[in-house]
Amino acid sequence: MILVGIQSQTASGWSVTDDGSNTYNLGPACNTGNFALLFYALNVSAARKITIAHSAGTAGFFSARAVEVTNIPIGSALDVGTTNCQIAATATMTAGSFTPSQNGEFIYNMVFAGTWPETTDYSTATQGTCAWALQETNLPDAQATQWCVQGTAAAINPTITQHDTGNDWWSIAAAFKQSGATPVPIRWASTPNMSNVGQTSAAGANMVLYLPDPTLTATAGMYMESIQHEVYEAGRTTPLVHQFTHTGNLVIYAYYGGSDSVTAVSSTPSHTWINARANVQSTSDHTNASIWCSDTGNSGAETLSLSATITPSPIVSDPGFLIVSVKGAKPTSCADAVSGFAIGNKTGVTPIDVSSGGATSGSLSITPTWSDSLIIAAVPWDFNTGNGVTNGQFQSCFLSSNSLANTPYCENNGAATMQNHAISSFEFVWALQSGLGANTAEYGMAWAEFPAPSSGPPPGPR
């Protein structure tokens, strides 16, 4: 089963499709004030690219998250759903009481508060035989999901606690039957809050969310489990804080923004954070990017409070952050990582690649060090909207339409991953959206390569 949760300022007109040709059904939904909708697809085939489409021209602000869950029946899986919509600001957020009909059901709960309220953390607790676990959180936009498997069917009112209480909130929950084995979330991803204010295209708004690729788990047992994508607004005082739940033994933290740069990363629980790719600054300091990581050595679920110190403070751009959990990584994958960069200047909406401008410093061409590895790249550019990458898997979210008068989020940046299986040179070719009357002037790409367990030690200085 794949679940897709949407938070938006518009209730009707939404649809969900994916590249696995799965069929999505609408589950519980909030239709008061702001809106929250939960779609689900059963008996799913492998899917990675999920398209969330809105038929109207002005969907306002919206975000999405998706998770794949195993051991759910192929039909009639949704047992019961509930909603609690636009509730006056309180610390405790509840979805409303219901009683699942069977033991061992998978219960999923999505919450969010008013537009850009920003919270500092969420916390869960055990309710009866339901031991809630955080799935993903987005502190800048005050959004979170949690899940549990309820051992014994009983009345439950899904509850989560937020630290800050300055805004109204929305909560929806659903219980799904199991197929005979315990349901388990296996991969998930989320987007930041985005806007298509000023959207005039008749095609409406399309948001694309990328799950970690299920077909790429053959990199010597190393694979991505989750991808959490966030954006902080300009004017925030650092350090900026993220809350990230994972079960991987390697966590990667990629930053891409304007005239701001990350100078330090720390976490609670404490781990050693390494600057795998030092800050890459474009020609006129219009963009900055860097990649950090930690060999957490984790073997079970862990919720990190990540803290990034950024210069200057308050921040002056709307920087993006990609936080990735990797399972089965080499114990020293972060410590052994190698990296590179590319800085360049170009005009027009031709792709950022070797053939249309190349790099004035560094190289857009990447030659892997190992035959089994994970490569992650982050590139901010000034300016225009990116809508894809070749030779890798695009991870940055975007709006695919022809008239975006005011889209501050997911513009001017891209992020990509590649699970590499050969020592063969390639380049990430970044596609830019035409029809906006904008020109890309400068960019700075940071990338890092993380070896799989089968890989040998790193080479000398590179």
458: in domain: no
What is the mean pLDDT of the segment spanning 418-438?
Answer: 75
Q: Tell me which of 157, 190, 223 is where a domain ends.
A: 190
232: in domain: yes
- Class of residue 59 by CB neighbours under 10 A (exposed 0-12, middle 13-18, buried 19+): buried
Q: Read off the pLDDT of residues 352-399 as tens digits, 9 standing for 90 and up.
A: 888 777 788 999 999 999 988 999 999 888 876 666 677 666 665 444
pLDDT at 440: 64
Pairing of strands 223-231, 184-190: parallel
Q: Read off the pLDDT of residues 93-136 as tens digits, 9 standing for 90 and up.
A: 999 999 999 999 999 999 988 755 577 789 999 999 999 999 99
Question: Are 141 and 51 in the same domain?
Answer: yes
φ/ψ of residue 334, rounded to 5? -70, -45
Question: Are 144 and 227 in the same domain?
Answer: no
Q: Judge whether 334 and 295 are in contact, CB under 8 Å.
A: yes
Question: Are 383 and 414 in the same domain?
Answer: yes
Domain, as residue range, for 261? 212-451
User: Which has the closest alpha carbon to 246: 327, 301, 294?
Assistant: 301
Answer positive or negative: Cα dihedral of 390, 396, 399, 403.
negative
220: in domain: yes
103: in domain: yes
Percent of the chain with pLDDT over 70: 84
- pTM to 2 decimal places: 0.92
Q: Which of 127-141, 349-363, 402-416 has the lowest mean pLDDT?
A: 402-416
Question: Are 186 and 267 in the same domain?
Answer: no
- Class of residue 63 by CB neighbours under 10 A (exposed 0-12, middle 13-18, buried 19+): buried
69: in domain: yes
Question: Are 256 and 119 in the same domain?
Answer: no
Q: Tell me which of 158, 190, 222 is where a domain ends.
A: 190
What is the mean pLDDT of the segment spanning 239-246?
Answer: 95
Question: Are 34 and 178 in the same domain?
Answer: yes
459: in domain: no
The single-letter code of the amino acid at 409 is Y
Token digits of residue 15: 């649809």
* Distance in angstroms (rounded) separating the CA atoms of residues 72 and 88: 35
Token digits of residue 72: 């759910």
Q: How far is CA 112 from the centre of its chain?
A: 16
461: in domain: no
Count of domains observed in the chain: 2
pLDDT at 408: 30
* Distance in angstroms (rounded) separating the CA atoms of residues 145 and 126: 15
312: in domain: yes
Q: Is it the case that residue 8 has pLDDT exceeding 60?
A: yes
pLDDT at 26: 95
Question: Are 172 and 242 in the same domain?
Answer: no
pLDDT at 355: 79
Q: Is it the case that residue 403 has pLDDT exceeding 60?
A: no
Q: Which residues pair with 306 in a beta bridge?
A: 242, 267
* Distance in angstroms (rounded) separating the CA atoms of residues 303 and 246: 6
Question: Are 139 and 230 in the same domain?
Answer: no
Question: Are 46 and 104 in the same domain?
Answer: yes
Edge-first strand listing for the sheet containing 338-345: 361-362, 338-345, 442-451, 373-382, 413-420, 393-394
Q: State the average pLDDT for the chain.
A: 85
Question: Are 224 and 122 in the same domain?
Answer: no
* Distance in angstroms (rounded) separating the CA atoms of residues 38 and 15: 11
Question: Are 141 and 221 in the same domain?
Answer: no
Token digits of residue 172: 């929806």
pLDDT at 11: 67
Question: Are 12 and 150 in the same domain?
Answer: yes
